[in-house]
Amino acid sequence: MSSLKPNPLDTSHLLRDDKFEGGGGDGSYEERQRLRTKGWQVVSLNENADGRKPGQTYIPLTSNRYANAIINVYEPGQRDEMHCHPGSEHLFMVLRGELHLYGVNDGEDVVLKPGELVHINASYYYQLSNETDQVTILYQVATKPPKPSKISRYSYRGPQGVDPTTLEGE
């Protein structure tokens, strides 16, 4: 029998669908922007990462018609569940720390270091994990589909689960 205590930052056992924000996503973009014009939204990644509130893991930076820019913070030992975003592509770039990225197919297992990024196709399953003893900070861009999907986040339920492409907008 194992004497290991469950890690409270490990959310990989939770099934989360639709509008899961991950804590701290209050949507107040303007206060985080250095300049905002009709066509621009300018932010400082470092200032927003360093100025985050204690426990804040999701920091929305910009929002427009087809994409959002976000900072994600992963504490040591924190991991997502395997999930996808129907109709939405995601790019994650490591600013600080390391990110372990898993997929459901053979060969989808990689560790990203600062300055490296991954581009994840819409409706494609992945899991993000910080398996280090340091904080990991990511810059994320999430596209918004032209037609909203039926659900924005879907947890992996095994190979017999729902095909996430069926959840994309019509």
Q: Encode the chain (170 residues) as per-residue pLDDT tens digits.
A: 444 556 655 666 655 444 444 444 555 778 889 999 999 999 999 999 999 988 889 999 999 889 999 999 999 999 999 999 999 999 999 999 999 999 999 999 999 999 999 999 999 999 999 999 999 999 999 999 888 888 888 888 888 888 888 888 76
Whether residue 122 is contained in a domain is answered as yes
Decide: 47 and 37 in contact? Cβ < 8 Å: no
- The rounded distance, in Å, linking the Cα atoms of 16 and 18 is 7
Q: Which residue has the tokens 């997929």?
A: 103
pTM for the structure as a whole: 0.82
Residue 147 backbone dihedrals phi, psi, to 5 degrees: -110, 120
Whether residue 140 is contained in a domain is answered as yes
What's the half-sphere exposure (Cβ side, CA atoms, 13 Å) at 1? 1
Pairing of strands 33-36, 41-43: antiparallel
CATH number at residue 94: 2.60.120.10
Q: How many domains does the chain have?
A: 1
The confidence score (pLDDT) of residue 12 equals 60
Q: Which domain holds residue 106?
A: 30-157
Structural tokens at position 77: 């030992």
